[in-house]
Amino acid sequence: MNVLDGKVAIVTGGNSGIGFATVQAMTRAGATVAVADIQSRIREELDSEHTFYCQTDISKAEDVKQLMEQVHKRCGKIDILVNNAGVAFLGDSDTFPDAQWYKTIDVNLSGAFLCSKYVVPYMKQNGGGSIVNLSSVMGHVGAPRQVAYNASKSGILALTRCFAVEFAANNIRVNAVCPGFVETPMVLGSGEEQLNYLKGLHPMGRLAKPEEIANSILFLASDYSSFTTGAALMVDGGYTAQ
C-alpha cells in the first residue's frame, strides 16, 4: 500500500540497521527519501530512483541546515523526518570517558534536536509534517555501563513531547519509537551467550528484526497515526511490560 505516496522524507543514519530498513519501507510505500548519513556513499541496495544521498554530520548545525536546504531545493518540500542516527559506547559510569559522553549526546540528542529545529520551518510552509524520533527501551530503564546512551535516549522522549506540544497547532506531529534489542550486526556479533541473554530479556523470547521497527516508524510517519503526537511507541517484545 502506497501510504506515503508523493511524500518526501529524510532518514538520518539511513545506510545501516533500522535506518536502512526504514528507507526501504518508505520507498516501497511511495516516498522519495533523502538518506542523510555520515558515510561517504549510499548503499547500492537502495532504490536509486526514489532515494538520494546527503552526506551529513547531524551533530553540526551547518551540516543540518545544508541538509534541509538541499532536500527542499531538490524536492520542493519536506513531509517526514526520521531521527534515527545514533552511537553507543559502553563503560562504567564513574570512569566513563568524557569524550564518549559528549559524542553520544552530540549525535543522539543534539543531532535529533538540530534536525527537528531546522526542519520545522519547512514543514510549516508545507502545512504540516511528521517527525519520528528513535528512542529505546533504554530511555525508560536504567542499565549498568550505558549511562550516556540511556541518558540520550531518555532525553529524546522529552524532546519528542516538547516539540509535539509546541508545534501541534502547525499540524506537525512528533512521536518516538522505543525498540528493544534489534538484530543489527553489532548485536548479532556479540557472541552466542550474550545473544541468548538479550533474547531472554524479551518475553517474546527473541530480538526484533529491523523491518519490524521500520514498520512502526512507517505507521507514525503516515496518516494512519493522524491523531497521534507526543507518543512513545514501545516496540520491545514486552521488555518494559515486565
Q: Let me know if residue 1 belongs to a domain.
A: no
Do residues 28 and 50 make contact, with C-beta atoms less than 8 angstroms apart? no
pLDDT > 90? residue 85: yes
Separation CA 90–CA 96 (nearest Å): 8
Q: Let me know if residue 242 belongs to a domain.
A: no
Query: Which residue range is the domain that position 130 belongs to?
Result: 8-236
- Which residues on adjacent β-strands are paired with residue 80? 9, 130
Q: What is the pLDDT of residue 109?
A: 98
CA 184 to chain centre: 14
Q: What is the CATH number of the domain that holds 143?
A: 3.40.50.720
Average of pLDDT values for 15-28? Answer: 95
Cell of 162: 516538547
Do residues 233 and 178 make contact, with C-beta atoms less than 8 angstroms apart? yes
Q: Mind listing the pLDDT tens digit for each residue in 38-63?
A: 987 777 788 778 999 999 999 999 99
Instruction: Please tell me the total count of domains within the chain.
Output: 1
Q: Which listed residue (53, 118, 122, 149) is catalytic? A: 149
Query: Count of CB atoms within 10 A of residue 49's CB?
Result: 8
| Average pLDDT value for the chain | 96
Do residues 207 and 187 make contact, with C-beta atoms less than 8 angstroms apart? yes
Do residues 110 and 59 make contact, with C-beta atoms less than 8 angstroms apart? yes
Cell of 81: 523526518
Average of pLDDT values for 89-103? Answer: 97
Q: Mind listing the pLDDT tens digit for each residue in 162-208?
A: 999 999 999 999 999 999 999 987 788 888 999 999 999 999 999 99
pLDDT > 70? residue 118: yes
Q: What is the pLDDT of residue 186?
A: 76
Q: Which pairing describes strands 172-179 and 129-134: parallel, antiparallel, or unpaired?
A: parallel
Determine whether 149 is an active site residue: yes
Separation CA 178–CA 239 (nearest Å): 11
pLDDT > 90? residue 25: yes
Q: Let me know if residue 2 belongs to a domain.
A: no
Do residues 30 and 7 make contact, with C-beta atoms less than 8 angstroms apart? yes
Reported as a pLDDT band with limits 50, 70 and 90, residue 1 is: low
Average of pLDDT values for 136-160? Answer: 97
Separation CA 172–CA 152 (nearest Å): 23
pLDDT > 80? residue 107: yes
The 3-state DSSP composition of the chain as helix, strand, coil percent (nearest 5) reads: 50, 15, 35
Q: Let me know if residue 70 belongs to a domain.
A: yes
Coil, strand, or helix at residue 33?
A: strand
